[in-house]
A and B are shown apart, each in its own frame.
Chain A
């Protein structure tokens, strides 16, 4: 049996305290890894959601707010864009396609977006992938609705089911558009983006269900009959939309067009480039991430100090043990290295368990993130630099173990052959 074997057997002998120490270190490592993994996965998730959009246009507001409410369904718009503006922007020569977004309704907590067929044709996610229908088709009838994959999965809806949308975006529906039930005509294939979290109706339908709601609540007797609405479907269009997504003919035009839109005279608008606005968002969240990192690092330090405490407290108990080893030929450095090996085994156990813990929590949190934010968080192995950090933590544990190792060294020199008490 070599020294490592002896260290292992000695640890097994004190397994209760050792397991607790390993768990402490594992928790701290788990936290550290998890913070980093979620950070990078969430960022990737955000970038995946806007991969094909060159500009997002909304009423004058802060860029980050516009990005969050238009694409990610976080927060609400404070103002709308007039239909005329939309008509003018979409025919600009630089513009390849324009996707209107009319928000403001919801269905059991999921957002309803009034849009055109351009959305299904031009919206891109992930690695520039197009949207696809898992089943059914895009709106045929005026009161057809296409639902996202997550909506279908979570609420258990199928093609042909009839649903009633709610006015407003809260989770609790206070007012329902119950005069105009919709029929599910299509279910989108999963994308791992907020697209899965929404329902899609045509702009004409969006207008139809809001006739008589101009003041924010329904005026009694003012609504349009569904069949009458169907007859007028071609002329129905909203007075205003919430935002629009633009794809350009050439990306080189993006800065010019952004300037043009931001200076648009008839109406105060904000145009943003999603990638750049995400960077701004990261700068805002960066501080919180730094705090989390520091906290995680401090927790790791606390874990290592806990290990030091355990090693130091056992040092007195094990004085006799060390004298026995010494009497049987162990040299002081061998006894010291036993302690370093023990620390190494504890730290290695803690690190491995911590990474496993992080992966488990990550996979457990993934459905929640998907359900609440439409963010697809994949299981990912720590990146090389993270493994480097773990290596440094391992070395730090060995360094810390030098303290009890040195004390044991001194003690074995001063103790005689036998410690009788």
Chain B
């Protein structure tokens, strides 16, 4: 499989702290790959996602995305990269409560024209994804905060997938769901990630899920900074 993201010698220290929270020698993600990343609290999972998402800038190292080094990009370029190439799903609080479900899904296309172009008819693409994530049309015009947690997570997945971004970052998206819902959520997510030909970096501490992924990584092994908390 072709390489999508290559991280080399990445170090990051939170401002005001003496020890780095990230010290990763090498991490590769291949195109279309579904990677499970686990590690205990404080092992630097969220920091790694923030670095890949371009919200923090590493102290040193490289993050190659194609021929672009994300670690070297300036703030505005990193923002543009995130808008164009990333979809994110969080554990909870994913949606803007005052927008309806469909508008929430369309949101990333508002901030990136290339992504909107890839989505084609943005509204139709959003509706298609909502349908694919098993959300009936009756819900589409509802305010996001009127949905159950499970429904909200599926809307968040649809939003992450709109415009077929190259990389989906999922930060414990299933931890608020019960076991049955977790499995069906993963079924739907995997199917759509495959359809979009995206790479999935799925962070969780629930190692039971690991078997369903192409590959699983233990952050404590690849992050030399170790557990800080």
Contacts and interface: CB of A to CB of B under 8 A. Distances in A.
A320 B53 contact: no
Given A2-B110, A418-B171, A329 B82 contact: yes
Contacts of B115: 329
A322 to B, nearest CB: 10
Given A9-B98, A321-B96, A328-B159, A416 B107 contact: no
A417 B171 contact: yes
Contacts of A6: 99, 110
B76 A1 contact: no
A324 B95 contact: yes
B133 interface: no
Contacts of A9: 98-99, 103
Q: Please tell me the size bucket of the interface on B.
A: 35 or more
B46 A417 contact: yes
A418 B93 contact: yes
Contacts of B106: 1
B49 interface: yes
Contacts of B50: 416-417
Given A417-B46, A417-B49, A417-B171, A1 B55 contact: no
B112 interface: yes
Nearest to A416: B50
A36 B103 CA distance: 45
A330 B54 CA distance: 12
Contacts of A420: 91-93
A334 interface: yes
B97 interface: yes
Residue picked from A326, A417, A418, most chain B C-beta under 10 Å: A417
B39 interface: no
Contacts, number: 79
Nearest to A331: B79
B88 interface: yes
A328 B56 contact: no
A395 interface: no
Interface string B98-139: 110001001110111001000000000000000000000000
A250 interface: no
Contacts of B53: 327, 417
Contacts of B107: 325, 328-329
B13 interface: no
A227 B84 CA distance: 104
A419 B93 CA distance: 8
B199 to A, nearest CB: 17
B90 interface: yes
B93 A326 contact: no
B15 to A, nearest CB: 9
Interface residues of A, number: 25
Given A1-B103, A13-B97, A417-B46, A329 B83 contact: yes
B151 interface: no
A285 B66 CA distance: 76
A13 B111 contact: no
A331 B76 contact: yes
Contacts of A74: none
A10 interface: yes
B220 interface: no
Contact of A325 (B75, B92, B96, B103): B96
A9 B95 CA distance: 14
B48 to A, nearest CB: 11
A360 B217 CA distance: 70
Contact of A329 (B46, B47, B111): B111
Nearest to A13: B98
A328 B108 contact: yes
Nearest to A421: B93
A416 B57 CA distance: 11
B94 interface: yes
Residue picked from B46, B80, B99, most chain A C-beta under 10 Å: B99
Interface of A: 1-2, 6, 9-10, 12-13, 320-321, 324-332, 334, 413, 416-420
Lowest 10 CB-CB distances: which A-B pairs, in order?
Answer: A329-B83, A13-B98, A329-B111, A331-B79, A328-B108, A416-B50, A418-B90, A327-B88, A328-B107, A329-B108
7 contacts: A320-B93, A329-B111, A330-B83, A331-B111, A417-B88, A417-B90, A418-B171
Given A327-B88, A327-B90, A417-B46, 6 more contacts: A6-B99, A324-B95, A329-B79, A329-B86, A416-B50, A417-B90
